[in-house]
Amino acid sequence: MALKLDARIPSGPLAEKWDKHRFEMKLVNPANKRKYHVIVVGSGLAGASAAATLSELGYNVSCFCYQDSPRRAHSIAAQGGINAAKNYRNDGDSVQRLFYDTIKGGDFRAREGNVYRLAQVSVDIIDQCVAQGVPFAREYGGLLANRSFGGAQVSRTFYARGQTGQQLLLGAYQALEKEIARGGVTMYERHEMLELVLVDGKARGIIVRDMVTGEIESHAADAVLLATGGYGNVFYLSTNAKGCNVTAAYRAHKKGAAFANPCFTQIHPTCIPVAGEHQSKLTLMSESLRNDGRVWVPKKAEDCGKEPKEIAEADRDYYLERKYPSFGNLSPRDIASRAAKEACDDGRGVGPGGRGVYLDFADAIKRLGRSAIEERYGNLFEMYQRITDEDPYERPMRIYPAVHYTMGGLWVDYNLMSTIPGLHVLGEANFSDHGANRLGASALMQGLADGYFVIPYTVGDYLASNKLERVTTDHPEFVAARETVSKRTQRFLEINGTRTVDSFHRELGKILWDKCGMARDAKGLKEALAAIPKLREEFWRDVKVLGTGEGINQSLEKAGRVADFLEFGELMCLDALHREESCGGHFRTEHQTEDGEAKRNDELFAYVAAWEYAGEGKPPVLNKEPLAFENVHLSTRSYK
């Protein structure tokens, strides 16, 4: 039976939808809010801001994270900045322009209503964060500074050097800690969600494992919020923290939450290249560096082995400036990544294995002086030098694309509720705002918009609109879910095979990078769909999980996450195979223009692909939410 995908987009003019919707939503009386209990899974920007705000409103909140502190959530790793349509530079920005840039940047595969709301509330986020004391960069006179990011011709990105995510997370974290101290939030660090519990078809709680004691615990609530981030680590090598995973979202998917556009993954063009087979993760170099750095490769393959200073200006190919003169080095991420791959495939890549391009600051240092570049990017330059032992002030950085973000996620409506009533999904864990390609500096914007300014309204509407009976963890559904988790945990420990969890993860990642990475085709995707089930079968037969289920066991934690990746990776490839077009980060080589750009098929694929779990061993069911464009004109993306 097909799911009913009701996006619940309010009627009326685009600019008035959110205000109209806020007025029409039902409210919970302030005195009644303390009667409700909300679970928030995840403590990054979306989770921490949601937990703190809901507690401030009077709800009882339980917040869970697998890290040893909420401030270690992966949001802390974001470097370059956060977008907002403040137009402080008076350079032509507006809510409408941010809306259009985001829709266009996502290659017209996102909902107009959700994206416009994101642009609207962006201006409030900056005010909120400044009030919290977030130390945004400022001009000499004290005004907040802005810089440019990819896919925009205005400067709308607010930043704190190369540590914006860290500073924003500390702002949300202090708000969260205030509520923890007050007693409004109960914090559960080092707890990993392993199952969602449904009672009468509604999300009423979760099953978690205490990662210190090994105890399996049940927690009941009136609503569950997932703010668990993206699934980029399915590729094994990514810029994500090693703990990032798909487990919470995938457990919810198997309980009935549709998974939308899983093949929409973002490859970031500005990362330190892979150094060898020993590597377990990759390091991002902020997109902000492309404000002043110029990307180039040698024009002739025979020059690739030379020192960069030995290559004359006339023998350098500044390929982004050449191919996309209007946006140059700040072309969107999907386009810049494919251009880098194209140059390396042409035999003009630099560094070990020929998988790298130069990001050169010589012109900027000459124009602005070394001190100005240090002030803007000092911590990033230091990080690069520590990792590569090369001085980027003296020698161009070597960069290459790497998996960074996932636009796909659990399907949600305008209220951020999934296809399971009571299960709301925030931030990168949902699919809602970025279409097929996210613009730089928009992830932090979405996480804080969802947590501070959207979910406090919409979760109240859900609670006020539904009569929820009191449920305790003694309920049969909780008992059954806890038993399922315990048996699965024990099964990992009893296999006692010969291969490590990491070896399976690395092999899966290579399959996905080769067949479902920057470029995809039907042949490769079918090969992946044949290989992944075989690898999964071998995993369940031959994986070796050391230790016991009692106490700290990182091998056991990884086994659970990789088991879910082995199922989810197949869903990604199915989604990529079915979408016979190229759009944003989804580049099917069969569908490209004569000059190698993405070729959309709006007639057949202007929809959200929402996949429904059909049961063990059964193919997932595809549901489609048509995308209507009433305020922007569907056109071929051009950054030339």
What DSSP string describes 226-237?
E-----GGGGSS
Ramachandran assignment for 201, one of left (phi > 0), alpha (psi -120 to 50 degrees), beta (any other): left
What are the boundaries of each domain within the chain?
Answer: 268-403, 478-613
Annotated catalytic residues are 333
> Do strands 259-260 and 223-226 pair parallel, antiparallel, or not at all (unpaired)?
unpaired
pLDDT in tens, 485-497: 999 999 999 999 9
Cβ neighbour number for residue 518 with a 10 Å cutoff = 19
Query: Helix axis angle, 554-578 relative to 247-254, nearest 10°?
Result: 60
What is the helix, strand, coil percentage profile of the chain, to 5?
A: 45, 15, 40
The pLDDT, as a whole number, for residue 161 is 87
Nearest to 597 by CA among 636, 553, 629: 636
Burial of 48 (0-12, 13-18, 19+ CB in 10 A): buried
Q: Write the CATH number of the domain with boundaries 478-613.
A: 1.20.58.100
CB 454 within 8 A of CB 117: yes
Nearest to 210 by CA among 38, 68, 17: 68
The pLDDT, as a whole number, for residue 2 is 67
CB 424 within 8 A of CB 223: yes
To the question of domain 268-403 being in CATH 3.40.50.300, the answer is no
Distance of CA 139 to CAs 85, 143, 145, 547, 574, Å? 18, 5, 5, 55, 49
Q: pTM of this prediction?
A: 0.97
The pLDDT, as a whole number, for residue 320 is 97
- Contacts for 227 with CB less than 8 Å, ≥ 6 apart: 40, 41, 42, 43, 44, 46, 47, 50, 425, 426, 427, 429, 447, 450, 451
The pLDDT, as a whole number, for residue 277 is 84
Nearest to 199 by CA among 33, 420, 460: 420
The pLDDT, as a whole number, for residue 640 is 87
Residue 172 tokens read as 């949300």
Q: What is the mean pLDDT of each run of 10 residues along the chain (640 residues)?
A: 87 97 97 98 98 98 98 95 96 98 98 98 98 95 94 96 95 98 98 98 98 98 98 98 98 98 97 91 95 97 96 98 96 96 97 96 97 94 96 97 97 98 98 97 98 98 97 98 98 97 98 97 98 98 97 97 98 98 97 94 98 96 97 93
Which residue has tokens 């004691």? Answer: 213
Distance of CA 497 to CAs 58, 501, 543, Å? 50, 10, 5
Residue 490 tokens read as 């024990």
pLDDT in tens, 527-547: 999 999 999 999 999 999 999
Cβ neighbour number for residue 385 with a 10 Å cutoff = 16
The pLDDT, as a whole number, for residue 213 is 98
End-to-end Cα spacing for the chain: 45
